[in-house]
């Protein structure tokens, strides 16, 4: 099992990514505003389930590759850190761009709770960027001294933490619904502050992985 400090760091990174405006937030908001809060909750749950499945699959795939190529973990550790910095910079850069996050309350095709969960799960599973994210995000946090099942377990736990951390944030988005959408869309200051906080947090996490300031 990964240590508590690593788990908290990964959870923080996952929360930062889920709490900033983006496609997942827009997807949940659309369901919440267009159908109901319950539909938004179902969307959040579906996204989380899809994320966990991808995280587990990616973890087992990475563990297999690490066993075959010893140098790969070290290389991906540094590449993953650079990727975190890139994500952080992207959040800050996008804060100066006008984002179209407008969500209307136009009714959507009504679906059952189970149908929406299923749809949300596939939305996440079929997102190629999510696969790339897990492949580059996990290695920097892995103990390089681990092998075999211990390595697999650490990768699975850390990978699952990211979507599980996002679920509470997405549920909050669904509950607030269109009210949150209007606040974020009409107040550039809020969007910019969220993006800057998130971006700086990701950059700090990436740098701290190597400098171990905290």
DSSP string computed for 42-83 = HHHHHHHHHHHHHHHHHHHHHHHHHHH-HHHHHHHHHHHHHH
State whether residue 78 is helix, strand or coil.
Answer: helix
**pLDDT confidence of residue 105:** 52
**pLDDT confidence of residue 133:** 79
- Domain boundary assignment for the chain: 4-101+110-211
**pLDDT confidence of residue 36:** 76
Higher-confidence residue of 150 and 107: namely: 150
Round to whole Å and give the CA distance between 69 and 149.
16
Instruction: Give the CA-trace dihedral at 115, 118, 120, 123, to 10 degrees.
Output: -120
pTM: 0.73
Element (H, E) at 135: helix 128-137
**pLDDT confidence of residue 5:** 83
Q: pLDDT-derived band of residue 73, with 50, 70 and 90 as boundaries? A: confident
């Amino acid at each position: 099992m990964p240590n508590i400090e690593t788990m908290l760091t990964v959870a923080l990174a996952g929360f930062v990514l889920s709490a900033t405006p983006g496609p997942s937030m827009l997807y949940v908001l659309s369901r919440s505003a267009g159908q109901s809060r319950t539909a938004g909750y179902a969307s959040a749950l579906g996204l989380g389930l899809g994320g966990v499945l991808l995280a587990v699959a990616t973890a087992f795939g990475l563990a297999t590759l690490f066993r075959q190529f010893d140098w790969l973990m070290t290389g991906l550790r540094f590449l993953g850190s650079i990727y975190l910095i890139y994500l952080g910079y992207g959040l800050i850069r996008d804060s100066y761009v006008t984002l179209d996050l407008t969500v209307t309350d136009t009714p959507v095709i009504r679906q059952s709770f189970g149908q929406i969960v299923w749809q949300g799960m596939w939305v996440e599973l079929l997102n190629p960027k999510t696969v790339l994210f897990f492949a580059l995000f996990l290695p920097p946090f892995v103990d390089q001294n681990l092998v075999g099942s211990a390595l697999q377990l650490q990768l699975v736990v850390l990978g699952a933490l990211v979507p599980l951390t996002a679920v509470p944030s997405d549920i909050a988005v669904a509950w607030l619904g269109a009210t949150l959408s209007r606040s974020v869309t009409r107040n550039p200051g809020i969007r910019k502050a969220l993006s800057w906080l998130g971006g700086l947090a990701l950059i700090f996490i990436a740098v701290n992985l190597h400098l171990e300031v905290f």
